[in-house]
C-alpha cells in the first residue's frame, strides 16, 4: 500500500473511531465555555501540535524520517514533548509505532484536518487584496463567501498584495476567482 493510501486510511479510521466515541473531553471544570469539547476537535488539535513540532524542527524531522532509529524511541520522544496527550491519541500513536509509520504523522494531520473541515461544514478561503479591508465589509464578505462555498463556517486567511492595484483574489478548495485590476490590465494588454 502506498503512503497516500496509508495516510488516508489512518486519518479516516482515527476520525471514525473518535467521532463514534460518545463522551466529549472535559477541558476545564472551572471555565464553563470550555468545559465540554468533542473529542474529535481535541484529537485534531493534538495532531496539529505534533505536526508543527515534526515539521518545524529540523532535528526532529530528520530523526523521525531516519529508519535506523527505533519506532519505540520516536514514540517515547513524542510522549515526552507532549505529556498531556489524550488516551485516544496515545493509542493511535502506539498503532503507528507498531507498524513503523510514525513518520507519516504530518501527512496524517493534514488529511485529518481536511476531514474535520468537511465534518464541520467549513471551508478554508484565501483572500488576497490590494488594500486593507473596510471595517464594515467583514460581515458581508463572510456571508458572500458562505453562499459561494456552500459552507456553514469560513476560515479566512487574508493577505495583501499591492501589485494587484485593486480588487481581490479568492481561492478555496481548488477554485480561484481573480477579480483584480492587475488581471483586467493583463487581459487588456494581451488582446
Rounded to whole angstroms, the Cα distance separating 149 from 171 reads: 10
* Parts of the chain with a pLDDT under 70: 1, 21-37, 185, 187-189, 191
**Start-to-end Cα distance in the chain:** 50
CATH class for domain 3-117? mainly alpha
Q: How far is CA 154 from the centre of its chain?
A: 13
Rounded to whole angstroms, the Cα distance separating 64 from 37 reads: 31
| pLDDT, tens digit (0-9, with 9 covering 90-100), for 73-95 | 999 999 999 999 999 999 999 99
Rounded to whole angstroms, the Cα distance separating 129 from 166 reads: 7
- Give 133's DSSP letter: P
Rounded to whole angstroms, the Cα distance separating 23 from 170 reads: 38
Rounded to whole angstroms, the Cα distance separating 69 from 25 reads: 33
pLDDT of residue 33: 55
Task: Determine the 3-state secondary structure of 123 from DSSP.
Answer: strand
Nearest to 126 by CA among 148, 155, 94: 155
The residue ranges of every structural domain in the chain are: 3-117, 123-190
pLDDT of residue 188: 67
Task: Determine the 3-state secondary structure of 182 from DSSP.
Answer: helix
Q: Exposed (0-12), middle (13-18) or buried (19+): which is 175, by Cβ within 10 Å?
A: exposed
pTM given for the model: 0.72
Amino acid at each position: 500500500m502506498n503512503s497516500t493510501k496509508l495516510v488516508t486510511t489512518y486519518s479516516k479510521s482515527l476520525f471514525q473511531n473518535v467521532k463514534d466515541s460518545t463522551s466529549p473531553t472535559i477541558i476545564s471544570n472551572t471555565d464553563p465555555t470550555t468545559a465540554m469539547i468533542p473529542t474529535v476537535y481535541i484529537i485534531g488539535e493534538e495532531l496539529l501540535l505534533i505536526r508543527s513540532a515534526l515539521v518545524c524542527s529540523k532535528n526532529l524531522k530528520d530523526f523521525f524520517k531516519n529508519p535506523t532509529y527505533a519506532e519505540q524511541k520516536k514514540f517515547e520522544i513524542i510522549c515526552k514533548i507532549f505529556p498531556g496527550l489524550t488516551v485516544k491519541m496515545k493509542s493511535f500513536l502506539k498503532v503507528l509505532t507498531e507498524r513503523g509509520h510514525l513518520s507519516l504523522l504530518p501527512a496524517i494531520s493534514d488529511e485529518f484536518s481536511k476531514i474535520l473541515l468537511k465534518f464541520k461544514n467549513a471551508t478554508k478561503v484565501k483572500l488576497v487584496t490590494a488594500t486593507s479591508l473596510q471595517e464594515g465589509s467583514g460581515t458581508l464578505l463572510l456571508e458572500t463567501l458562505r453562499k459561494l462555498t456552500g459552507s456553514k463556517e469560513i476560515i479566512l486567511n487574508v493577505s495583501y498584495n499591492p501589485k494587484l492595484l485593486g480588487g481581490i483574489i479568492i481561492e478555496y478548495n481548488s477554485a480561484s476567482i481573480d477579480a483584480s485590476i492587475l488581471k483586467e490590465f493583463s487581459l487588456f494588454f494581451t488582446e
